[in-house]
Every structure is written in structure tokens, then in C-alpha cells.
Amino acid sequence: MSSGNGNPAGRRLRELLFGRHIVVAPGAYDALTARLVEAAGFPAVYLTGAGVSYSMLARRDVGLVTMTEMVQRLAWITDAVSVPVIADADTGYGGPENVRRTVRAYERAGAAALQIEDQDFPKRCGHLEGKRVVPVEEMVARLQIALEARQSADTVIIARTDARSVEGWDAALERAARYAEAGADVIFVEAPLSEEELAEIPRAVSKPVMANMVEGGKTPLVSTARLAEMGFRLVIYPNSLTRLLVGSGQRMLADLREQGTTAGWRDRMADFGTLNRLLEQPWEAHTPQVGLTGGTQGA
């Protein structure tokens, strides 16, 4: 591993992880949704593999998106925002050399962090049934390759275990501890089933830990304040924005079909001027939230 090139985004994420506040990283699946996250003042963006599958293929998250497709999305997003981007890298997309290639491609595309999981390939969304996990030793080998492949020591490697629904809770915690010992920078235990299980994770792991809030998923929704009290340093909301856009879009389109106009939705839309200001503004971290109304009207 060479640390000479540096990774400013990774360095900034590390500062945030060890700062005063829990890092809240809403999910984005393209440059526009990432710009919305940054414009709202969040300190980091999470590039969601599930969201890319939903938006690009209109398919569930079952391992259909390739590494090169994710790298392209990542490059577009890092070009559009200045905050650190945490990128879903699934299983590393194959064997040891695939993991090595993935790490270096994600770094070149500007990732502050890569998330690698212990599922077998093809993976499935962490809140779907039918998952399979590889042996612990195989995942440890993935992590060791990822750590060695980094061009910068600043790049954050996140280790995710999906063992909760496959091997049980105790096995999931044991895997988390093993991955921390292997050198992963952040540990992510996917899909705990209760607030009590969530609270156990920070106590069981010596590294910063990450939580995943999925509306309608297996894990109960817990506030960021409560997660911080438990000891979590990072929380992602990978597809909250996706679900909101889908739900609002369904209702607006149904109303348009029935009423023949979108006039009743004007106050819930970003108008023409607001949208264009969002696209033209070179956003910096912690900028004020963009309003949803006002500005020049247009066709």
C-alpha cells in the first residue's frame, strides 16, 4: 500500500468519524440526488448500490449492477459534490483480484470509503431473504486484499456482515469482531432485529460502527440521537430519498391522470428556477438547505 497519493475525501471522513457528532449520510443513486444531500447540509453522501439497481434497471438489489457501472456513478457523484462519498462495493465483485481492482477503481473515482460485505456472489439486499455468507476466512482475505490494495491509507474500508439472518446474532457479532481485528476501519452489522441488538454492536467491536436505517426493513427505525448514545459513529439512510421520490411521484402522476393538471402539486415541487439554481451552484459542505419554492418560473 502506498500512502503518498493521499485521499483528501477519506481524510475528511476519518475526521468526521472521530469528531463530536455522529455522521449522517443519506443515500444517493446519481449526481442529482447527491447534490440534494449536500445542499441540505449533510456532511457525507452514501452511494447506494440498491438505489442504483432501482433507478438504472428498475430491478431489486440482487447483484445485477456491475463494478464498472458503480464506478461510473461514483465518478459522476464525486464530480458533483464536495463532501465525502461512501460507496457500496458489494462483495468486491468477485475473487481476490476483483477486490483489488474494485478498490483501486473506486479510489480513482474519488471514493472516501468503500463498503465490502461477506455475502456470497451474487449478493442480495441486506433486508431480503435468501442471503448466503462466505466463510469468515474468505471475508478476512477480502479485507486484507482491500487494505493492501489501497493507494492511500486515508481511504476508509468498511466491513459489512450479513450473518444475522444466516448464522444468527452471536455469529454476526463474532464476525464483526474478526473483521475489526483484520484491520477494517469501520464495522457494519446489517439487519439487526431490535433496538437491543443495535445497542450491543458498539460494545462488541473496537472500531467505529455504522448503522443502516431502512424504512420497512428488518431493523427498527431509531433516531440519530439515540444511535449516537449507543455509540454509533455513522448512520446511513440509503434509500429514504428514493422511497420519497417514488411515493410522491406515484401520487402526482395519479393526480395528473385524473385531473389533467399538476397545479395542485406546485407547492410540493422545486420550480424551474430553483431546480436550475441547484444545478448551477458549486455546492460546498454544510451549505444552507435549498428551498422548494420561489424563483423564476419557466416551462
- Coil, strand or helix: which one is 171? helix
Per-residue model confidence as pLDDT tens for the chain (299 residues): 344 458 999 999 999 999 999 999 999 999 999 999 999 999 999 999 999 999 999 998 788 899 999 999 999 999 999 999 999 999 999 999 999 999 999 999 999 999 999 988 777 665 667 678 999 999 999 999 999 999 999 999 999 999 998 899 999 999 999 999 999 999 999 999 999 999 999 999 999 999 999 999 899 999 999 999 999 999 999 999 999 999 999 999 999 999 999 999 999 999 888 898 888 865 444 444 444 433 333 33
Q: Give the amino acid at 125.
A: C
Of 296, 286, 295, the residue nearest 12 (C-alpha)? 286
Alpha helices (H) in the chain, listed in sequence order: 8-17, 31-39, 49-57, 67-80, 96-108, 136-149, 164-167, 169-181, 195-204, 224-230, 240-259, 272-280
Do residues 120 and 132 make contact, with C-beta atoms less than 8 angstroms apart? Answer: yes
SS3 content of the chain, % helix, strand, coil (to 5): 45, 15, 40
Task: Copy the grid coordinates of residue 172.
Answer: 454476526
For the full predicted model, state whether its pTM sits above 0.85.
yes
Could you tell me which CATH number the domain at 8-239 has? 3.20.20.60
- Coil, strand or helix: which one is 186? strand
Each residue of 192-204: b (16+ CB within 10 Å) or e?
beeeebbbbbbeb
Do residues 149 and 100 make contact, with C-beta atoms less than 8 angstroms apart? Answer: yes
